[in-house]
Chain A
């Protein structure tokens, strides 16, 4: 089955930039989505189709992709960005399943 690998944790000081990676086989040919989940809350879609932001998501959150790695970048990090972040894609080949990454805990120092 398809696997998306993320670092378990990322720590960043306020005002700095956090980068969360998501690796998977042939991810360059697939569309990656990103979710933010704060403690006790449901996930929220923050980036879809690699780089697009839903309405209401600040420009400080941005997505990119290069080779077999997708990246969510949080610029000018704020205390409110502390959360778990998950990448996700729909694997339309093979079993046609939805796959979530392993998740990354972002800690604001």
Chain B
């Protein structure tokens, strides 16, 4: 079955950097667009970034544009999120999610998330 496992979340100081990873299994990873979605403690869901199946196109929420970079390695079935210039407001559980292969792009599989805490 589809499995997405995130890792890399830790406590980091403001201004610091971090790279999150998401390892996929149970499906042909290279066929699917993937996204990162985050959830601050006690808050709602916020889309962060998306990448197409061949890495030809990426997109970012305004709140992270210029600081975060999404990438993938289809040979390793892995998705990444490089996070720079971290701020307290980036504190959240970060989920990787697979988009359904339709024009309306719902997220039909999610990992369990990894917690990023930005604090001095």
The answer on a CB contact under 8 Å between A100 and B106 is no
Q: Contacts A42-B95, A48-B100, A97-B59 known; A88 to B106 CB distance under 8 Å?
A: yes
The answer on a CB contact under 8 Å between B104 and A31 is yes
Number of A-B contacts (CB under 8 A): 59
A98 to B45, CA, bound (A): 11
Q: Is A12 located at the chain interface by the 8 A CB criterion?
A: no
* Number of chain A interface residues as a range: 20 to 34
Q: Contacts A42-B113, A98-B35 known; A49 to B106 CB distance under 8 Å?
A: yes
Min CB gap B26→A, angstroms: 15
A96: B residues at CB distance < 8 A: 59
Chain B positions within 8 Å of A, measured between CB atoms, are 35, 37, 44-47, 50, 59, 61-62, 95, 100, 102, 104-108, 110-113
Q: Contacts A48-B108, A98-B50 known; list 11 others, CB within 8 Å.
A: A35-B45, A35-B107, A41-B112, A42-B110, A43-B45, A43-B95, A44-B110, A45-B107, A48-B100, A48-B102, A99-B47
